[in-house]
């Protein structure tokens, strides 16, 4: 039996740019923190090369501007380059005009630096939701083909447990939304697509969840992580609340070995290779 091909994705942002720190570190303070995202992303590229993985890199526009060589190396090594917005502003904190300008600017920056078309988008902290009904139309009008901006779980910073678990056609039909993967157990969605859950929980949990989605749903998994998660030496942010400190810093030293295991035990590819843009593994369904 041919192994299911899953989608590996990386949200390229620095350790101080995460939503959990937005009330502690203002954007005008970012320059006072030593950037580590370029070196950490190269470490991700090395990991993928060792394990013959291609992936999708959702990159912030501001990071791309600061590290143009990294943008070109991602593409040169066969990975997909996609947009994560310009400076990690959640969509719910933007109005329609601000969102339009953000996604168009980021697309232009990435395309100008890479020389290729950018067709994928992921909102900061999975923040496309019922409060932003205009987002998909704006993405389509800007030339994006798909979004991966929903995580169908309960979470205090993001998530919509009532959203579809599998890829779906957006209301105007011009865009595919590909949620981060959840497994369905005992009538509830459980995280199966990485992020902090992969780092904080035992490896067997993620392995079981991924196998369940591949075998029971017969669907690929959309998995994600951040470059800062493989960097146990990153500076500690002062005055961080206990919950944020636990979430952000726990098991950083275990993350890379777990990713090595994950990329060896499952088959991975770029997200755009699995989306229904012609020849597809995903079969997005229209939502009434």
Q: What is the average pLDDT across 58-71? A: 98
Among 103, 112, 109, which Cα is nearest to 137's? 103
Has domain 5-279 been given CATH number 3.40.50.10880?
Answer: no
* Strand ranges in the chain using DSSP code E only, listed in sequence order: 5-12, 56-59, 80-83, 120-121, 146-147, 168-169, 176-177, 182-185, 188-191, 222-225, 267-269, 285-286
Summarised one tens digit per residue, pLDDT across range 135-167 is: 999 999 999 999 999 998 876 666 677 889 999
> Residue 11 pLDDT > 50, yes or no?
yes
> Residue 75 pLDDT > 60, yes or no?
yes
Confidence of residue 89 (pLDDT cuts 50, 70, 90): very high
92 membership: H or E segment, kind and range: none
Summarised one tens digit per residue, pLDDT across range 250-286 is: 999 999 999 999 999 999 999 999 885 444 456 554 4
| Residues 15, 113: Cα–Cα separation, whole Å | 23
Among 53, 102, 110, which Cα is nearest to 82's? 110
């Amino acid at each position: 039996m041919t192994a299911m091909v899953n989608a590996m994705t990386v949200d390229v942002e620095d350790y101080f740019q995460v939503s959990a720190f937005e009330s502690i570190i203002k954007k005008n303070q970012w320059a006072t923190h030593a950037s580590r995202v370029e070196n950490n992303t190269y470490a991700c590229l090395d990991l993928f090369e060792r394990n013959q993985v291609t992936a999708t890199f959702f990159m912030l526009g501001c990071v791309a501007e600061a590290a143009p060589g990294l943008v070109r190396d991602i593409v040169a090594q066969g990975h997909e380059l996609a947009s994560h917005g310009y400076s990690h502003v959640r969509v719910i904190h933007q109005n329609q005009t601000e969102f339009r300008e953000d996604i168009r600017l980021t697309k232009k920056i990435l395309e100008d630096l890479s020389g290729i078309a950018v067709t994928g988008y992921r909102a900061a902290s999975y923040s496309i939701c019922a409060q932003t009904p205009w987002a998909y139309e704006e993405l389509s009008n800007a030339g994006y083909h798909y979004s991966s901006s929903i995580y169908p779980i309960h979470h205090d910073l993001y998530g919509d447990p009532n959203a579809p678990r599998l890829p779906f056609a957006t209301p105007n039909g011009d865009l595919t939304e590909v949620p981060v993967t959840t497994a369905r157990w005992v009538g509830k969605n459980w995280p199966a697509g990485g992020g902090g859950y992969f780092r904080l929980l035992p490896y067997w949990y993620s392995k079981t969840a991924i196998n369940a989605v591949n075998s029971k749903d017969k669907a690929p998994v959309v998995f994600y992580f951040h470059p800062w998660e493989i960097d146990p030496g990153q500076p500690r942010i002062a005055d961080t609340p206990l919950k944020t400190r636990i979430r952000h810093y726990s098991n950083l030293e275990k993350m890379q070995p777990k990713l090595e295991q994950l990329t060896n035990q499952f088959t991975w590819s770029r997200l755009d290779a699995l989306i229904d843009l012609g020849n597809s593994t995903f079969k997005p369904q229209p939502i009434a």
